[in-house]
């Protein structure tokens, strides 16, 4: 009696259990996609903030260069190397001018790494199902209908893989930008100090030693 009763119950519970497992897997995949997408958006925000900060700082850097070069054209011919005071002032200006020039070139080089647009590197030739999110991959489709068909055929796992591919790509871009911005900040500080010294000493030379 018990064995007979267990048969229908087991048969009835089989499809239910399988359906429940499928629903749990779909929920878990959707949760993973949501988490990866949140990571994707956070990294985009970091990249935008780095670009914005670099844009502000490069404006100041160009101002420093535009003000230092014309002043140098007037101060350098006026340098004197006779008395101890003249030698000290001329030497300080010359040293600060050279440090500024080196720091300026270094800072421009580093800021270019922050502002330069980046392209995909680790999946330049994606496999089927992994070309649904990155703009260069999407642009390879003949038209929007072909892209739509590819989207309708994509499985949840493929959707997750597309997002994680982009998260990884953004992480590499973010690392390059943030590392370059940190190095730029150090070069910018040195350039700023050298600018203050060379400008102050330069005006002093033009006033008292000319």
* Run of H or E residues at 27: helix 2-75
Total domains present in the chain? 1
| pLDDT per residue as tens digits for the range 6-48 | 554 444 455 555 565 567 677 777 888 888 888 888 888 988 8
Determine the structural domain holding residue 34 and report its residue range. 2-208
Query: Rounded to two decimals, what is the model's pTM?
Result: 0.66
Q: Measured over all CA atoms, what is the biggest interatomic distance in the chain, rounded to whole angstroms?
A: 119
From the list 113, 115, 73, the residue with the least C-alpha distance to 202 is 73
Residue-wise pLDDT for 114-170, tens only, equals 887 766 565 556 566 667 777 778 888 888 888 888 888 888 888 888 888 888 888
pLDDT in tens, 116-130: 776 656 555 656 666
* Separation CA 143–CA 78 (nearest Å): 68
CB-based contacts of 4, cutoff 8 Å, min separation 6: none
């Amino acid at each position: 009696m018990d064995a007979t009763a267990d048969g229908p119950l087991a048969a009835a519970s089989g499809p239910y259990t399988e359906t429940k497992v499928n629903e749990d897997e779909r929920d878990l995949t959707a949760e993973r996609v949501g988490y990866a997408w949140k990571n994707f958006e956070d990294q985009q925000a970091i990249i935008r903030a780095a670009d914005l900060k670099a844009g502000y700082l490069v404006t100041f850097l160009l101002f420093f260069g535009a003000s230092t070069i014309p002043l140098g054209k007037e101060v350098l011919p006026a340098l004197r190397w006779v008395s101890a005071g003249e030698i000290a002032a001329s030497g300080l200006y010359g040293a600060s001018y050279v440090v500024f020039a080196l720091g300026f070139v270094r800072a421009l080089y580093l800021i270019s790494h922050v502002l330069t647009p980046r392209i995909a590197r680790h999946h330049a030739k994606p496999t089927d199902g992994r070309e649904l999110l990155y703009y260069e991959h999407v642009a390879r489709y003949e038209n929007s209908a072909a892209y739509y068909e590819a989207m309708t055929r994509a499985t949840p796992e493929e959707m997750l893989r597309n997002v994680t591919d982009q998260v990884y790509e953004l992480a590499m871009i973010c690392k390059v930008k943030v590392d370059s911005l940190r190095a730029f900040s150090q070069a910018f500080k040195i350039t700023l100090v050298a600018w203050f010294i060379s400008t102050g000493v330069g005006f002093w030379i033009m006033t008292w030693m000319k």
